Chains A and B, each alone.
Chain A
Amino acid sequence: MKATDIADSSYFHKVVDCQWACPAHTPVPEYIRLIAHGRYTDAYMVNWKSNVFPGILGRTCDRPCEPACRRGRVEDEDVTGGRKEPVAICRLKRVAADNKDELNGRLPTAPASNGRRVVCVGGGPASLTVARDLAATGYEVTVLDQDPKLGGMIRTQIPRFRLPEQVIDDEVGYITGIGNITFQQRRVDSLKGLLDEGWDAVFVGSGAPRGRDLDIPGRREAAANIHIGIDWLSNVSFGHIEKIGRRVIVLGGGNTAMDCCRTARRLGGDDVKVIVRSGFEEMKASPWEKEDAIAEDIPILNFLVPKSFVHEGGRLVGMTFEKVQAEYDANGRRKLVPTGEEDPFFECDDVLVAVGQENAFPWIERDIGLDFDDRWDMPKVDEATMRSTHPKVFFGGDAAFGPKNIIWAVAHGHEAAVSIHTFLDGGDPAVRPAPAVEIVSQKMGIHEWSYDNDVALDARFKVPHRPKEESLRDIRAEVELGFDRELAWKEAQRCLNCDIQTVFTAQLCIECDACVDICPMDCITFTEDGEEDEVRGRLNAPAANLDQALYIGDGLKTGRIMAKDEDVCLHCGLCAERCPTGAWDMRKYLIEMSHAERACGKH
């Protein structure tokens, strides 16, 4: 096998599973250590630099980092006394936001204007990220939104009991406080018209604003009591709606459905149920959002396909469904097949339809050189540069590739800002700036490391919730109370510090086996070289997870190779501690993505 090229920063980046999985590549272990040290403001700034909305994301993120977390693969039920679970990365982020001090002087301020003007369509997370990155680099940024306040879906679609408005105001304020950012409440009806205004670049971060409807019998007749989920949430958010019927059916299995049903519970719905077409397991909603809904006495009924809205004299009285079951064909594809049972009927006063969202670009002319995909009628956007086929127009967030989530919007925003800066500097946006990598050996003494290498054996700690009765009384009362400092410290101990890398220098190795003998996970093997598939099978412990690399060191005196399975490494540093020659060292690889301020147009 070829020796691993650790000079390529993506090698060790991938080992930090959480950071690699995060669309914005937030250096997770770095901020978790800062939290453990009580350095909440520093932890907040690590986040802010990378994901722009730590307080918001610490409550609402879809947390792609957590399923990736190594802890979830290496825990043992017999040792921890609990289920195998990842570190509560997302909720630790919130701890940094909750406990930070004043950010005085830590946030950037706009330098002298470089004279370039960029406009962002939509005031959500993608546009705000672009505005932050570009304003801090000297651009004059104007953000347009149809709503009276910045925030986009963060403000309109996420209920207050999950995300207090103050958090949104604070974090939007950190961005606008940079300077050189102008907000205008303005609907854009023509991209051509906007381009004609002479902006140097246009960023489209207008989201996926159209809630999908359900065209089944009775829809028109009973329209008064049938609401599109995201529009209804937005109306609740702005105080236009304050009540709903006693019996509510929520259609859909995504996170919007979960927000709808829990909001309905707080606006007078005391018999609220969610009804989904698919099975419970296949629902799109995050598992914890389903749990939270169920905990508020909201049953989730599955395998029911909506058939008709039933109305009496124009008043909605209920819905009928068709009962289905999942059948799988030879290719494993699922089909929902009617069971033939009688169609169940559920009484209700109101229905919230949360069966998906769509993009809608009626305001983009099709003859201005911006190509659309024929099949989906979506703009063609480059996944790396976020640029459309029009040189001046960039996309991000849900507007780019359909509904995703906030953290993806942030990641898109960073990339689009890099592209805009590079483009306006006369460079090629396709050439992406490399991430910044800071490498520091953690060795302090013979057995001392500058990180806490002892592996805590606790099972995941639960975030305390407000008592249910209290929560349901007040739509603005936040349900999750967040970890207090002590719980946060304990949860932080569960982090394995995967960014503290085991770095192997073959020239120093005397092949004494000390590392092999001490490794608790049996992940180091000195063995004869071979093809990867075959080597993976004959290591001290089989390396079956092909998504995880084997770290290969060669140049040993015996001609063997060192093969380390990164999959299950605890980063405990015992290999380095037992190494007599320093062939193993524990080095922190702090990898930070390059944003616009570090991107240079002239490559």
Chain B
Amino acid sequence: MTITSPSSAASQADVDGPFLQVEDLTVTFPTQDGPVQAVKGLSYSVELGKTLGIVGESGSGKSVSSMAVMGLHDAKSSEITGSIRVGGTEVIGLGESRMRKLRGNAMAMIFQDALAALHPFYRVGDQLAEAYAMHHPKASKRDARRKAIEMLDRVGIPQPDRRVDDFPHQFSGGMRQRAMIAMGLINDPSLLIADEPTTALDVTVQAQILDLLQDLQREFNSAVIIITHDLGVIAEMADDVLVMYAGRCVEYGTTKEILTRPEMPYSWGLLSSIPDVTASTDARLIPIPGNPPSLLKPPSGCPFHPRCAHRDKVPGDLCVTELPALTPASNRAGHLKRCHLPNPQEIYQLEVLPEIAPDLAEEIR
């Protein structure tokens, strides 16, 4: 797999442009305590055949933004502004009946908890067949069932013609996840959103599912969004990475750029707070202090400033007073960051890297 230059999040849309184009997306939920802005001014794009990884803590808005793409927010209890174009169709403000034609057909979603996402009372095959029949009104019941068996076979479930009549509880965790992937892919969607697709699974099953996702993406040439907090999964699956914090994009770029030359202290924090299975044992585990902020009363200025350990390197109290703009990073085009630090490269290589990966820091020197 080669990594081509990323389409900049800010670039203009054109007709043959990215399949999914999200621009200035803002999702607000009115609550009793006031409006909660779960996503603020988010822009990104995904081309066909490419994978975008979205990382961030829980509550950072990564799931909310992708549910907005799928049109899963109730219009009565949420306000969505901005623009989401899926294959040229504007999704925001689209009527429910037209949305239904799109959802499950041109775009599909895979959820984290397969046991909760599959209906316990219906047979797996019937649930798959329903997804097919819904978008193929002319298909007979037998066609739909045949298609369900074909998809179960495609995702590697043994004896699909027998397992098609099983209930979800008769499947193991990995098989349920496969069945859900089969359901998502039954109508050959061009956009697949996988929300923590492997978080609840064992590493061996996770590897199988990731292999499967990659094979299927190659086969159907679909655009894929993977939402996860596992940077290892991102490193192996994604072409581009979007780091989210408190509803905003704080860093965006190719996977290689973001994971080897990150320029935003939150990304450093994510990298330093997970141990690596091949790292030197002298590497320190440095947590991000504190907890994610409340979106009801987000911090002033940069939303990360209360937890940022590098705030003292920014002159004055810029971090507290002013929200940094999403500006190009110092090293390469297409790498965007939201941070006031004037010399992030230097700080990362001289201060952060020696603590979190002493072996890597040696190599660079």
Determine if chain A interacts with chain B.
Answer: no
